[in-house]
């Protein structure tokens, strides 16, 4: 009787399984049932090996894809967190430069904008005007009508200032009832006209305005000269505009 034997480590299990099935059919046809059973058992073993290898490959592929998805998710979460941190930092930075009552910039914002604007304005020799505004008899408003009423006056004045100046202008509440306007590319003659129109608009809530102009491009010097002009406006009878002497 002829026997069919298939062996060899280099032969793929799927090929061996098919060969043993052929051996099983041949042995069965020759009525060699013992050999047919061996071929059948070997075919099953090879098929299980193929199936096990396939399942292992699928499992490894699943793990790889799961890790890839996990890595993508972690990277996306990290980018989102970084973006949120940048937004929070920008929000806190904006809050640090904002007056909470009027929504205008504060003194820190004025200093930052001055440091940003002065070098380019100085290099170009461009005009710059700075005005200080003070609300007349503001203490009397607080004492007579209460601080809530005083706050409403400041909020109204802040809105008027914000609505009547260019986006390039710097409008801040420097403290108490005092406001500062920084007008880049604005000569003194234009600044006087602008501030006089502003004074007329808020005449129902009297204010004093003092104006100084650059050069020099130095915030402290400009603030001091504008403050002197503001004092002169108060001394001259309030509700008026005075300019600093060169």
Query: pLDDT tens across 105-147, in order?
Result: 999 999 999 999 999 999 999 999 999 998 888 888 888 878 8
Helical axes 138-145 vs 147-163, angle rounded to 10°: 140
Residue-range domain boundaries for the chain: 1-96, 107-243
Beta bridge partners of 54: none
For 61-103, the pLDDT digits (tens) are 887 888 888 888 788 877 888 788 887 777 777 778 899 999 9
For domain 107-243, give the fold: Alpha-Beta Plaits (3.30.70)
- Distance from the Cα of residue 222 to its chain's centroid: 33
Closest CA to 192 of 127, 131, 118: 131
- Indicate which residues carry an active-site annotation: 177
Q: What is the pLDDT of residue 55?
A: 80
Q: How far is CA 134 from CA 6, 188, 207, 227, in A?
A: 105, 19, 5, 10
Percentage of the chain modeled with pLDDT above 70: 90
Percentage of the chain modeled with pLDDT above 90: 28
Taking the CA atoms of residue 148, residue 154, residue 156 and residue 162 in that order, the dihedral angle to the nearest 10 degrees is -150
Residue of higher predicted confidence among 180 and 37: 180
């Amino acid at each position: 009787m002829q026997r069919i034997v298939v062996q060899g480590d280099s032969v793929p299990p799927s090929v061996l399984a098919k060969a043993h099935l052929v051996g099983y059919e041949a042995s069965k046809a020759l009525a060699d049932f013992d050999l047919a059973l061996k071929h059948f058992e070997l075919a099953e073993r090879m098929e299980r090996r193929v199936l096990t290898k396939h399942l292992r490959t699928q499992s490894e592929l699943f793990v790889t894809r799961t890790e890839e998805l996990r890595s993508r998710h972690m990277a996306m979460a990290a980018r989102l967190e970084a973006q949120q941190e940048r937004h929070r930092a920008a929000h806190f930075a904006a809050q640090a430069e904002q007056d909470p009552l009027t929504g205008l910039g504060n003194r820190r914002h004025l200093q930052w904008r001055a440091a940003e604007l002065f070098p380019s304005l100085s290099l170009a020799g461009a005009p710059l005007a700075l005005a200080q505004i003070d609300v007349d008899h503001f203490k009397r408003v607080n004492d007579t009508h209460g601080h809530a009423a005083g706050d409403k006056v400041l909020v109204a004045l802040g809105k008027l200032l914000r609505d009547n100046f260019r986006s390039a202008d710097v409008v801040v509440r420097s403290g108490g009832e005092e406001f500062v306007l920084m007008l880049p590319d604005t000569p003194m003659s234009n600044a006087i006209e602008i501030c006089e129109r502003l004074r007329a608009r808020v005449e129902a809530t009297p204010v004093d305005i003092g104006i100084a102009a650059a050069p020099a491009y130095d915030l402290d010097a400009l603030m001091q000269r504008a403050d002197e002009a503001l004092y002169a406006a108060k001394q001259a009878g309030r509700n008026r505009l005075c300019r600093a002497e060169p």
